[in-house]
Structure 1
Amino acid sequence: MNILVLPPFNEAQRAVIEAAATGASFTYASSAEATDEAIATADVIVGNLPPARLALARNLRLLQLNSAGHDAYAAPGIMPAGAALANAVGAYGQAVSEHVYTMVLMLMKHLDGYRDDQRAHSWTDRGPVTTMAGAQVLVLGTGDIGQHFAQLARAHGAHVRGVRQRLGAVPDGFESIHTMNELPELLPKADVIAAFLPSSPATRGLVYAEFLARCKPIAYFANGGRGDLVVQADLIEALEQGNIAGAALDVTTPEPLPADDPLWSAPNLLITPHVAGQFHLYTVLDNVVRIAAENLRRLQAGEPLVNEV
C-alpha cells in the first residue's frame, strides 16, 4: 500500500502513522511538493490535497483530511470513484476553543483597548470589566470544539448551555442542551454566545439583525466556526449601535478579508485570520496523526472508518 503524507509530521508522529500500516510505503511531501506520480500511485493520501489534483489519484482508496471541514471535497465529481473520505473531527477542540476563549476574555477585560493605548503611549483607564464567573454562556455547536469551550467556561464558574439540532445526552461542560428552535428564548439570557457551527443551509446567515437584537447590550459574541454564519453588515451595525458589547471573529466572509472591508473598523471587535486551528498548537498534529493512524489500521483490517464523511 502506497501512502502519501502531506502534513508536516515530526519524527515521533511519523513513527505513529508508520506503525499503523506495517509493510506500507510512505512518501512525505507538502501539498505543493507532491508530484503527480506520487498522487497517481497513492492508495491513501493523508492531508488536504487541493481538490483539483485529486483527478490524478486513480488508485485512491482513502483521503484522510487533516481538517475538520470537508466541504471542498464533498462536492460531486471531486472524489475519485470508490475512494472513502474522512475528516479530522476531534483534532482541533483544544486549539480552537482556547483561542476563541482568550479572545472573549480580552474583550471582557478591555485588553484589546489597552493594547491600543500602549501603542499610542496613552495611560488610560477603560473602566469596569466583566467576568466568566457566574456568566450565562450559550454555545452553538456541541461537538469537540464546543465541548472544550464549555469546559473552559465551566472551570471559571460560568453556567453553560449548549445548542444543537437535536436533543440528547448532555456532554461534559454543559448544564443543559437545547435545540436551535429555542434560540429566540435563550439569546436574551446569555452574557456570552460562542458559535462553532459548520456551514450549511441551516446555519448560513443565522446571526443577523434579529438574532443580534435579541442579545443583551452587555453580551459578547464569538465565532470560531464558519464565516458565513454571520451577516457582517448586521454585526457592524449592532456593534456601532451598542446593541452588543463586543464580538470576536476568527472566521469571516470572504477570507482573506479585504483591507478595505468595513468589518475591520467596527468598534469592540477582535478579528484573527482563521488561525485558531491550523497546526499552530502542537496538539493538533498529534491528534491528526492519531486519527490517521487509526483509519490506516481500520482500512487494512476492513473495519469501518472513523470520521468518514
Structure 2
Amino acid sequence: MNILVLPPFTEAQRRVLEAGAPGSAFTYTSPANATDEQISSADAIVGNLPPERLAVARRVRLLQLNSAGYDAYAAPGIVPEGCALASAVGAYGQAVAEHLYAMVLMLMKHLDGYRDDQRDHVWGERGAVTTMAGARVLVLGAGDIGRHFARLAQAHGARVVGVRRHAGAVPEGFEHIYTMDELPGLLPQADVIASFLPSTPATRGIVDKAFLTRCKRGAYFANGGRGDLVVQADLAEALERGQLAGAALDVTVPEPLPTDDPLWDAPNLLITPHVAGGFHLHTVLDNIARIAAENLRRLGAGEPIINAV
C-alpha cells in the first residue's frame, strides 16, 4: 500500500503511524510540495490535501484528514468515489480546551489589563477578581474539546453542566447534560459559558443579542468552536454595556479579522487568531498519528474506519 503523508510528524510519530500499516511504502512531504505523481499513486493520504488536487487521486481509498473539520471536502465530487473520508476528531481536545481555559482565567484575573499596564509602565491595581472555584460553568458542545474543558474547570472547583443535541450519558467532568432546547433557561445561571459547537444551520448566529441578554450580568463567554456562532456586533455591544465581564475568542468571521473591524476595540475582549488548535501543542500530532495508524490498520483489514464522515 502506498501512503502519502502530509503533516510534519516527528520520527517518533512516524513510527506510530507506520505501525498501522507494516510493509507499506510511506512518502513524507507537505501539502505544498506533494506532486501529482505522488497523489495519483497513493492508496491512502494522511493530511489535508487541497481539495482541488484530489482530482488526480485515482487510487486513493482513504483520505485521513489532520483536522476535526471537513467542510472543504463535503461537497459532492470532491472526494473520489470509493474513497473513505475520516476526520481527526479527538486530536485537538487538550490543545483547544487549555487555550480557551487560559484565556478565561486571564480575563477573570485581569491579566490582560495588567499586561497593558506593563507596556505603558503603569503600576496600579485593577480591582476585584473572580475564580473558577464554585463558579457555574456551562459548556456548549460536550465532545472531545468540551469534555477536556469541563475536566479543567471541575478540577478547579467549578460546577459544570453541558449542552448538546441529545442528552445521553453524562461524561466525566460534567454534573449534568442538557439538550439545546433547554439552553435558554441555563444561561441566567452560568458564570462562564464556553462554546465548542460546530457550524450548522441550527448553531449559526446562536450567540446573538437575545442569547447575551439572557446571560447573567458579569458572566464570561468563550468561543473555541466556529466563528459564525457569534453575532459579533451583538457581542461587542454586550461587552460595552457590561452585560458580560469579558469574552475570549479564538475564532472570528471573517478570518483574518480585518484590521479596521470594530471587534478589535471591544472592551474586555481577548482575541487569538485561530491558533488554539493547529500543531502548536505536540500532543495534537501525537493524536493524529495514532488516529491515522488505527485507520490504516482498519483499511488493510477491511474493517470500518473510525471518525468516518
Q: Are 1:134 and 2:134 an aligned pair? A: yes
Structure 1 residue aligned with 2:92? 92
Structure 1 residue aligned with 2:45? 45
Please state whether the residue corresponding to 1:193 is helix, strand or coil: strand
Q: Deviations over 1:50-103 (max 9, x none)?
A: 111111111110000001011111112211111110000000110000000000
Distance, in Å, in 1 between the alignment partners of 2:128 and 2:76 is 53
Distance, in Å, in 2 between the alignment partners of 1:29 and 1:111 is 41
Please state whether the residue corresponding to 1:308 is helix, strand or coil: coil
Shift of 1:300: 0.2
Structure 2 residue aligned with 1:56? 56
Structure 1 residue aligned with 2:274? 274
Structure 2 residue aligned with 1:197? 197
Count, aligned residues: 309
Structure 1 residue aligned with 2:248? 248
TM-score, normalization by structure 1: 0.99
Distance, in Å, in 2 between the alignment partners of 1:19 and 1:162 is 37
Amino acid at match of 1:71: D
- RMSD (Å), alpha carbons: 0.6
Distance, in Å, in 1 between the alignment partners of 2:96 and 2:156 is 18
Q: Deviations over 1:248-301 (max 9, x none)?
A: 000000111111111111000000000001000010000000000000000000
Distance, in Å, in 1 between the alignment partners of 2:91 and 2:18 is 19
Please state whether the residue corresponding to 1:245 is helix, strand or coil: strand
Amino acid at match of 1:221: F
Shift of 1:172: 0.3
Amino acid at match of 2:268: N
Structure 2 residue aligned with 1:301? 301
Please state whether the residue corresponding to 2:81 is helix, strand or coil: coil
Structure 1 residue aligned with 2:143? 143
| Structure 2 unmatched runs, 5+ | none
Structure 1 residue aligned with 2:34? 34
Structure 2 residue aligned with 1:20? 20
Shift of 1:19: 1.6
| Structure 1 unmatched runs, 5+ | none
Amino acid at match of 2:29: A
TM-score, normalization by structure 2: 0.99
Please state whether the residue corresponding to 2:7 is helix, strand or coil: coil
Q: Deviations over 1:110-136 (max 9, x none)?
A: 000000000000112000000000000
Shift of 1:12: 0.8
Distance, in Å, in 2 between the alignment partners of 1:124 and 1:236 is 26
Distance, in Å, in 1 between the alignment partners of 2:125 and 2:230 is 32
Distance, in Å, in 1 between the alignment partners of 2:38 and 2:218 is 54
Structure 2 residue aligned with 1:176? 176
Please state whether the residue corresponding to 1:75 is helix, strand or coil: coil
Please state whether the residue corresponding to 1:236 is helix, strand or coil: helix
Please state whether the residue corresponding to 2:244 is helix, strand or coil: coil
Shift of 1:2: 0.8
